[in-house]
């Protein structure tokens, strides 16, 4: 049986998530591969192409069955990025229309399904995107603001605070975990590793620090003063970005959601919800995302093809476990 399908891609800094849907919203497959951003992984084109092929195979579809592809890609910020972004999906025989946006855009499309709101993306990377009542997209990076809440930044900050001696006796468990993570026995050895630059290759160094972040967020939940100070500072920066974007909304009530491993860990999610309640410019309301970012990319592909995103299609999509968070 021949399926006409669309492909939705949530291309993050650590993983690529590919969803294949028929034109009625029935999700036929979902596949996960390596990073999509060349800034995080030099093998990004191979990662994305392999994941697309895997998803199509799982769906029982061929390349010429694809009617459209929408990809949200981490690190896609300007026209100068198009050269490497288009290479991600440059598969011979995949000749359908292709639409590319930043990964925050597909996250917003899934979370709010076309309605106004602000999405805080904080995982491997960090970006805050608002889409106003006039459907105007505004990102915190448009103002050259960056909320240093991505996983690696939490880890860098924790290590720097530790090396500076900003630790409490109740941080001892976290200190030991960090030393073990870096393969050292004490802070003097960690200091020598730090002065040598930790790891020479920047991508490998950032990846190593990024993978350490769960130690920090888990310790924050357990009450570590060091971990909490790092996470609280990241949340302050997130809220500055939210407030900047919130000032562009007409309504006094602005919905906000969080996407990503950092902002959705127990401590940070609770901190975000509480911080939103003390907003300055607006009354911010936390909303759980309605659909996943990959499903948001599918929705955008439907709309780009001129297909109506009605309740039937949305309910069909919801039946797949990876279409919701």
pLDDT at 3: 77
Residue 303 clears pLDDT 80, i.e. is over it: yes
pLDDT band at 200 (very low <50, low <70, confident <90, very high): very high
Burial (0-12, 13-18, 19+ Cβ within 10 Å), 109: buried
Interval 214-258: pLDDT, tens: 999 999 999 999 999 999 999 999 999 999 999 999 999 999 999
Domain 5-111+291-323 has CATH 3.40.50.2300: no
CATH 3.30.420.40: which residues of the chain?
5-111+291-323, 115-288
Residue 321 clears pLDDT 70, i.e. is over it: yes
% of the chain surpassing 70 pLDDT: 99
pLDDT at 325: 76
Q: Compute CA distances 125 → 11, 122, 154, 181, 223, whole Å.
A: 11, 6, 11, 21, 25
pLDDT band at 280 (very low <50, low <70, confident <90, very high): confident
- CATH architecture for segment(s) 115-288: 2-Layer Sandwich (3.30)
Interval 35-64: pLDDT, tens: 999 988 889 999 999 999 999 999 999 999
Structure-block tokens of residue 2: 């021949």
Residue 1 clears pLDDT 60, i.e. is over it: no
Over range 146-168, report the average pLDDT. Answer: 96
The rounded distance, in Å, linking the Cα atoms of 47 and 50 is 5
pTM (global) more than 0.85: yes
Interval 170-199: pLDDT, tens: 999 999 999 999 999 999 999 999 999 999
Over range 292-305, report the average pLDDT. Answer: 97
Q: Where are the beta strands (DSSP E) in the chain?
A: 5-11, 16-22, 27-33, 66-73, 98-102, 117-122, 126-131, 137-139, 253-259, 283-286
pLDDT at 2: 59
């Amino acid at each position: 049986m021949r399926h006409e399908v669309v492909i939705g891609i949530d291309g993050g800094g650590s993983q690529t998530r590919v969803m294949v849907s028929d034109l009625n919203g029935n999700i036929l497959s979902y596949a996960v591969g390596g990073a999509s951003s060349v800034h995080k992984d030099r093998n990004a084109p191979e990662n994305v192409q392999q994941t697309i092929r895997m998803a199509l195979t799982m769906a029982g579809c061929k390349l010429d069955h694809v009617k459209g592809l929408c990809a949200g890609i981490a690190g896609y910020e300007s026209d100068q990025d198009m050269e490497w972004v288009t290479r991600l999906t440059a598969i011979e025989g995949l000749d359908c229309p292709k639409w590319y946006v930043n990964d925050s855009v597909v996250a917003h499309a899934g979370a709010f399904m076309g309605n106004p709101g602000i999405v805080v993306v904080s995982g491997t990377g960090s970006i805050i995107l608002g889409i106003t009542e006039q459907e105007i997209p505004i990102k915190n990076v448009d103002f050259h603001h960056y909320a240093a809440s991505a996983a690696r930044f939490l880890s860098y900050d924790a290590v720097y605070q530790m090396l500076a001696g900003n630790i409490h006796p109740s941080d001892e468990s976290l200190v030991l975990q960090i030393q073990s993570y870096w393969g050292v026995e004490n802070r003097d050895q960690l200091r020598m590793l730090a002065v040598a630059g930790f790891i020479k290759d920047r991508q490998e160094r950032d990846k190593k620090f990024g993978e350490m972040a769960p130690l920090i967020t888990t310790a924050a939940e357990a009450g570590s003063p060091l971990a909490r100070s790092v996470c609280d500072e990241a949340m302050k920066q997130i809220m500055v970005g939210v407030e900047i974007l919130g000032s562009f909304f007409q309504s006094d009530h602005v919905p906000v959601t969080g996407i990503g491993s950092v902002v959705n860990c127990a401590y940070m999610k609770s901190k975000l919800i509480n911080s939103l309640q003390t907003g300055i410019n607006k009354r911010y309301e936390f909303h759980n995302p309605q659909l996943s970012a990959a499903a948001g990319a599918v929705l955008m592909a439907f709309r780009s093809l001129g297909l109506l995103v009605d309740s039937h299609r949305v309910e069909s999509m919801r039946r797949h476990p990876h279409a919701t968070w």
